Chains A and B, each alone.
Chain A
Amino acid sequence: MNLQFVVDGLLLGGLIGLGAIGVTLTYSILRFANFAHGEFITWGAYATLAVTGLIGWATGQQLGGAGPFSVGWTVLAAGLVAMLLTGLLALGLDTLLFARLRARGNAIIMVMASFGASMALRSLLEFVFTSEPKYFSRDIQIAIPLGAGVRVTADQLLMLAIAVVLVVAVHLIMTRTTIGRSMQAVSENPHLASVAGVDVDAVIRATWLAGGALACAAGIMSGITVQVRPFMGFDLLLPLFAAAILGGIGSVPGAMIGGLIVGLAESAAVPLVGGGFRAAVAFLLLIAVLLVKPAGLFGMRE
């Protein structure tokens, strides 16, 4: 069997993991499953495209790739701006929608509202950008052979490296800083956290910002290595939740490892049982985890 699926799986797993971190944080801190999280991925990708275009238009420069990569520094700069914008989008959605419903304390209403928000956000993108796929670059990248028939493009390596850097950074923030400890505290016991001096509302805002920004990073990864289309995030929703639950709700390293497992399993399904079953893999994994170990691999509670 060709081992190409390992490279594909790691890449897919990396971007699922980045998205799943946001899901796991919002799930554990705000106590609801946000189905609009996939749209943050899509909006992040489109925002990066739009900002890249704006920079190109403003500077009048021809946008080319930097070094061996299909995209250049402009995309990187645009990506950073888009991460902030997506974080603000998540924050705005919370202020307009979720914060008002949270006051009533009904998680089911929140989940349903996130469904509605998901549809609205997706349709808005389709309206503005059409459903035609878009690309960061139409250049053809020559894949580097790694031996054993495995090939990898420079873009794929770059995206994996960025994913690793982001995950390590988030993990360090969660375990070594005050805001990270505050997030853990609110996730376990919001009342005790506020008694200990934690501003729960500030933690919630930080959670949305971080979740949105990481989803945007996942969107950029997917957009550069595949394409940008309005359903790209929605199609990742099930794998995101499978990864977050597999890793254990609330665990950042768990979400990343869960993402890698789901990504590798999906990619392995293609040579093993055929591409048609690929989408079912995340679903089967999710059911298996819920039946066998509902707390997940690194979860502390069910």
Chain B
Amino acid sequence: MTAAVLLTVEGLVAGYEPGVPIVRGVSIHVDEREIVVILGPNGAGKSTLVKAVSGLVPKTAGRVMLAGADIAQLPAHQMVRNGLAFVPQTENVFTLMSVADNLALAVAVLPKPDRAPGIEAMYDLFPDLAVQRNLGAGRLSGGQRQMLAIARALMVKPKLLVLDEPSAGLSPKLVELVFARLLAIRDTGVTVLLVEQNARAALAIGDRAYVLADGANRLEGKSADLANDRIMAELYLGAGQAVEARPP
């Protein structure tokens, strides 16, 4: 049995400034209910890839299809309405607003009757947040913040949850906790696309992975195979440094 393809990215070229592409022709696909990991050394364009897919970075060429619909031209705020929710790496909660207001803002894209139950469902899923609901989000711990950011994204019942380095800045124990949550989220039927620096931890929960280097596809395969790949080790230890040190 082959699962249906949820996200297809073909020959994507994207960058912050015109004429300076950071992603140079990347192609990936994510099947329904998969956890797919994007790996690669610093400066490989991983982050830019998911930001471009989410509508935050301008795309200059390529195709992006989500569940059969062309989403390449959609502005970022339309993505959640089309089933794609993005969790940025940093500054991913509104620190000047309460936990409850963070969720209330996100849930506003749903029809009115679904809003209150949606927020309650998130509090059931993340009991920590329920306790802190009236606290300013800026006063949450790093782990709680990441949970709020994920809860905010799940709020809109996305088909695809895209996360940019959810492990950044978290202790190994918290990383384990967050990744366990991602597995549980996938089990509820949400597909997950994840950019990670922490290759070992990410490959442990991922079904498949893509390795980018220099803004292009370098390797791809099942997580278990990539974990033992020689080129992978080289990319991270040797060539990775070279890519990083290249002038822009």
A interface residues, Cβ below 8 angstroms from B: 178, 181-182, 184-185, 188-189, 191-200, 250, 300-301
Contact = CB atoms under 8 A, between A and B. Distances in A.
B81 to A, nearest CB: 7
A172 B77 CA distance: 25
Contact of B105 (A182, A191, A199): A182
Nearest to A199: B77
B104 interface: yes
Given A188-B94, A195-B76, 9 more contacts: A185-B97, A185-B105, A192-B88, A192-B91, A194-B77, A195-B79, A196-B105, A197-B80, A197-B156
B108 interface: yes
Interface in B105-133: 105-106, 108-109
Interface in B84-107: 85-86, 88, 91-97, 101, 104-106
Interface residues of B, number: 27
B96 A188 contact: yes
A194 B105 contact: no
Nearest to B138: A300
12 contacts: A181-B105, A182-B108, A185-B97, A189-B91, A191-B76, A193-B77, A194-B56, A194-B76, A194-B77, A196-B77, A197-B156, A200-B77
DSSP majority for the B interface?
A: loop
Given A184-B96, A191-B56, A197 B108 contact: yes
B194 to A, nearest CB: 16
A125 B96 CA distance: 40
A199 B91 CA distance: 19
B54 interface: yes
B108 A181 contact: yes
A195 B56 contact: yes
A200 B109 CA distance: 14
B52 to A, nearest CB: 13
Contacts of A178: 104-105, 108
B88 A191 contact: yes
Contacts of A198: 77, 105
A106 to B, nearest CB: 15
DSSP majority for the A interface?
A: helix
B75 interface: yes
A188 B54 CA distance: 20
A197 B81 contact: yes
B18 to A, nearest CB: 13
A202 to B, nearest CB: 9
Contacts of A192: 88, 91-94
Contacts of B88: 191-192, 195
Most B Cβ at <10 Å: residue of A189, A196, A200, A301? A196
A193 B76 CA distance: 9
A181 B104 CA distance: 8
B108 to A, nearest CB: 4
Contact of B94 (A184, A194, A301): A184
A197 B97 CA distance: 16
Contacts of B96: 184, 188, 250, 300-301
Interface string B206-239: 0000000000000000000000000000000000
B95 A196 contact: no
A239 to B, nearest CB: 26
Given A181-B101, A191-B56, A196 B80 contact: yes
A179 to B, nearest CB: 9
Contacts of B108: 178, 181-182, 197
Nearest to A200: B77
Nearest to B54: A195
B59 interface: no
Interface in B45-101: 54-56, 75-77, 79-81, 85-86, 88, 91-97, 101
Contacts of B105: 178, 181-182, 185, 196, 198
A123 to B, nearest CB: 38
Most B Cβ at <10 Å: residue of A181, A182, A193, A200? A181
A250 B96 CA distance: 11
B159 interface: no
B145 interface: no
B152 interface: yes
A196 B149 CA distance: 10
